[in-house]
Amino acid sequence: MSRKRQRLALVLIGLLFVGGAVGFSLMALNEELDVFRSPTQLVENGFPEGKRFRVGGLVEDGSIEKEGIITRFRVTDGVNAIEVSYNKILPDLFRHCQGVIALGELDGGGRFVAHEVLAKHDENYMPPEIAATMQGPGNCEGKMQMSSAKAVN
């Protein structure tokens, strides 16, 4: 085998290893990517069962139910709501009409089973992505309008 062919073979093997490393990296990143959905997007478009994603909005007024360690509540964007079930300790800021983002997946009954619940820390600010999904009046109407106005500024 000539030196030219040896060099070509080494370059091709190197490209193969680099391509494989990039491919494995992209697969690992894809598994860790969590998509955000609002309750309205879930009602209109659905989402596959067992696939992890984030849902966000406000905790619907009067929807928090505790049954032992399991807490059930509804997250609303002012138009639609989705029931969430969580079996760990909730954040201190968690309460009615509070903005939350939950990470988890849908079960067979259409209920969102959360693995993690995050409560927003300031009642005067809401991320623009969530504020854009808060469209209509709801039980927490004053908070939604105030939060949406802050997100626009």
The amino acid at 106: L
Tens of pLDDT, residue by residue over 49-98, are: 778 888 888 888 888 898 888 889 999 888 888 899 999 888 888 888 88
The residue assigned the tokens 């990517």 is 33
The candidate with the shortest Cα–Cα distance to 139, out of 105, 85, 97, 100, is 97
121 is in an annotated binding site: yes
Any binding-site annotation on 115? no
Average pLDDT over residues 108-130: 74
pTM of the model: 0.63
Q: What is the 3-state secondary structure (H, E, C) of the chain?
A: CCHHHHHHHHHHHHHHHHHHHHHHHHHHHHHHCCEEECHHHHHHHCCCCCCCEEEEEEECCCCCEEECCEEEEEEECCCCEEEEEECCCCCCCCCCCCEEEEEEEECCCCCEEEEEEEECCCCCCCCHHHHHHCCCCCCCHHHHHHHHHHHHC
- Mean of the pLDDT values across residues 13-31? 87
The pLDDT value recorded for residue 143 is 52
List C-alpha distances in Å: 49 to 52, 110, 112. Answer: 8, 8, 9
- Mean pLDDT along residues 123-143: 57
